């Protein structure tokens, strides 16, 4: 009995020691339902035409930059996410981080599901800009049924203003919205040195004028910092290619999707490694962005619930729930990010962070 008690205390000391040594963030203990999300039937009212020719479309210029939403799909959970977003009267733009309709999950990549998704999202997309990032579910690459041209359905349905920013491809581009310069990267276009995307990003970052657009935001689909087992390290090669630029140009925040959950990082970088020096761990870096994964729109593939353990030190908060994020720029020095999960009312915030601008006010904010 005495030995068992001693072993128990030694075990407790070991676990506590491990927790202190890891210095990790918070893994939410929130309990959520985990059954699979069900697609809404084709005759659901959300798939009916929302805007007719007589609709008076209002112009919006609210101070809130927008919502971040990804991997939406068209399930009852997707509808819950979009309904929560639409309940926010101040949101002025939606920054979408990829994976739209999931039509490629249906037999023969059923394009009817592209149609229904377009009508489903119309309750928002008809009234404010949606800034598109392209994910793996937009590839629609299916040579087995004769379709060997990637991105064909999405390229016809969702054009982007890429040429205005000097890009030569629809899938990476930039826009300026409110006081933010927003750069959209393409996880599924080539990005190695000498490629068009590499050259474009290199010149685009030099064009950013922080006195005109104080906030610099980057969107992509596959996250660079995610501690979920799903899609683990799929964004790693792009991180290796571009992360040093994010630090050099003091990007404020990077948003990604792909992983069907929520996670927020501390400000870290991992750019010191040179193959021989072994400096290959993320370190605290006040010039680095905060990385936020919001691939939690609610698609039929369900939540990504398995996390790497222990929680890595770069991870500040993670939770496997559906929801969306709001990025509210207050002025050139402060912005408030809030993550809303579906299970709560639309006014409940499950995670939040005050961000200070990396260029004008780079305090230690995370
Ligand atoms: Fe994805």
* For residues 279-308, average pLDDT: 94
Q: Could you report the per-residue pLDDT of 17-57, keeping only the tens digit for each?
A: 444 444 578 988 776 666 778 888 887 877 765 544 444 44
The confidence band for 288, taking pLDDT boundaries of 50, 70 and 90, is very high
- Percentage of the chain beyond pLDDT 90 is 66
* For residues 343-365, average pLDDT: 88
CA of 104 to the centre of ligand 1 (A): 12
C-alpha–C-alpha distance, residues 295 and 174, integer Å: 21
Residue 63, pLDDT > 90, answer no
**Do strands 253-256 and 215-219 pair parallel, antiparallel, or not at all (unpaired)?**
parallel
C-alpha–C-alpha distance, residues 263 and 319, integer Å: 6
C-alpha–C-alpha distance, residues 215 and 80, integer Å: 30
CA of 136 to the centre of ligand 1 (A): 5
Q: Could you report the per-residue pLDDT of 166-186, keeping only the tens digit for each?
A: 999 999 999 998 889 999 999
Residue 60, pLDDT > 50, answer no
What local confidence, expressed as pLDDT, does residue 273 receive? 96
What local confidence, expressed as pLDDT, does residue 237 receive? 98
What local confidence, expressed as pLDDT, does residue 10 receive? 56
Q: Could you report the per-residue pLDDT of 144-159, keeping only the tens digit for each?
A: 999 999 999 999 999 9
What local confidence, expressed as pLDDT, does residue 348 receive? 73
* For residues 235-245, average pLDDT: 98
Which of 78-92, 104-118, 154-168 has the weakest average pLDDT? 78-92
C-alpha–C-alpha distance, residues 218 and 308, integer Å: 25
What local confidence, expressed as pLDDT, does residue 19 receive? 44
Hey, what are 67's tokens? 């919502």
What local confidence, expressed as pLDDT, does residue 1 receive? 43
Rg (CA), the chain: 21
C-alpha–C-alpha distance, residues 295 and 302, integer Å: 11
Question: In sequence order, which ranges of the chain are alpha helices (DSSP H)?
Answer: 2-22, 76-86, 112-120, 122-125, 152-157, 196-207, 236-248
* For residues 230-235, average pLDDT: 96
Q: Are the CB atoms for 339 and 351 separated by under 8 Å?
A: yes
Partnered with residue 324 across adjacent β-strands are 340
CA of 210 to the centre of ligand 1 (A): 31
CA of 230 to the centre of ligand 1 (A): 10
CA of 141 to the centre of ligand 1 (A): 14
What local confidence, expressed as pLDDT, does residue 33 receive? 65
C-alpha–C-alpha distance, residues 346 and 323, integer Å: 10
C-alpha–C-alpha distance, residues 211 and 265, integer Å: 27
**Do strands 26-27 and 315-319 pair parallel, antiparallel, or not at all (unpaired)?**
parallel
What local confidence, expressed as pLDDT, does residue 346 receive? 63
What local confidence, expressed as pLDDT, does residue 350 receive? 92
CA of 292 to the centre of ligand 1 (A): 15
* For residues 58-67, average pLDDT: 49
Residues taking part in catalysis: 231
C-alpha–C-alpha distance, residues 309 and 93, integer Å: 36
Residue 95, pLDDT > 70, answer yes
What local confidence, expressed as pLDDT, does residue 356 receive? 97
Residue 233, pLDDT > 70, answer yes
Mean residue pLDDT across the chain: 88
> HEC states along 146-188?
CECCCCHHHHHHCCCCHHHHCCCCCCCEEEEECCEEEEECCCC
Length of the chain: 366
Q: Could you report the per-residue pLDDT of 241-269, keeping only the tens digit for each?
A: 999 999 999 999 999 999 999 999 999 99
C-alpha–C-alpha distance, residues 47 and 52, integer Å: 14
C-alpha–C-alpha distance, residues 269 and 256, integer Å: 16
Residue 357, pLDDT > 60, answer yes
Residue 9, pLDDT > 70, answer no
CA of 68 to the centre of ligand 1 (A): 15
* For residues 329-352, average pLDDT: 86
* For residues 201-223, average pLDDT: 97
What local confidence, expressed as pLDDT, does residue 349 receive? 87
CA of 206 to the centre of ligand 1 (A): 29
Hey, what are 145's tokens? 């049924």
* For residues 291-310, average pLDDT: 92
**3-class DSSP state for residue 63?**
coil
* For residues 66-93, average pLDDT: 84
What local confidence, expressed as pLDDT, does residue 342 receive? 84
Q: Are the CB atoms for 279 and 272 separated by under 8 Å?
A: yes
């Amino acid at each position: 009995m005495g030995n068992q008690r001693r072993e128990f205390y030694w075990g407790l000391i070991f676990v506590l020691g491990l927790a202190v040594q890891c210095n990790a963030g918070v893994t939410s203990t929130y309990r959520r339902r985990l059954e699979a999300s069900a697609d809404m039937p084709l005759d659901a009212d959300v798939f009916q035409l929302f805007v007719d020719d007589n609709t008076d479309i209002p112009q919006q210029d609210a101070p809130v930059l927008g919502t971040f939403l990804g991997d939406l799909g068209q399930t009852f959970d997707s509808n819950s996410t979009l309904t929560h977003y639409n309940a926010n009267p101040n949101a002025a733009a939606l920054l979408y981080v990829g994976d739209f309709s999931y039509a490629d999950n249906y037999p023969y990549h059923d394009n009817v599901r592209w149609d229904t998704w377009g009508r489903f999202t119309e309750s928002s997309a008809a009234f404010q800009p949606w800034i598109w990032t392209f994910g793996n579910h937009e590839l629609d690459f299916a040579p087995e049924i004769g379709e060997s041209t990637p991105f064909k359905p999405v390229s016809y349905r969702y054009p982007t203003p890429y040429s205005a920013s000097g890009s030569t491809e629809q899938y990476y581009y930039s826009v300026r919205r409110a006081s933010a310069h927003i750069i959209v990267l393409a996880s599924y276009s080539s990005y190695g040195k000498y490629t068009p995307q590499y050259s474009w990003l290199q010149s685009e970052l030099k064009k950013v004028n922080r006195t005109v657009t104080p906030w610099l935001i980057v969107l992509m689909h596959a996250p660079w910092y995610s501690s979920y087992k799903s899609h683990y390290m799929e964004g790693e090669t792009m991180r290796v290619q571009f992360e040093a630029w994010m630090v050099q140009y003091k990007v404020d925040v990077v948003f990604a999707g792909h992983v069907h959950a929520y996670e927020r990082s501390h400000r870290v970088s991992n750019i010191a490694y040179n193959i021989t020096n072994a400096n290959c761990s993320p370190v605290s870096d006040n010039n680095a962005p905060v990385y936020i994964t919001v691939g939690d729109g609610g698609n039929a593939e369900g939540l990504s619930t398995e996390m790497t353990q222990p929680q890595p030190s770069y991870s500040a908060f993670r939770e496997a729930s559906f929801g969306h994020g709001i990025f509210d720029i207050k002025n050139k020095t402060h912005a408030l990010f809030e993550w809303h999960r579906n299970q709560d009312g639309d006014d409940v915030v499950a995670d939040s962070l005050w961000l200070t601008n990396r260029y004008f006010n780079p305090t230690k904010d995370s």
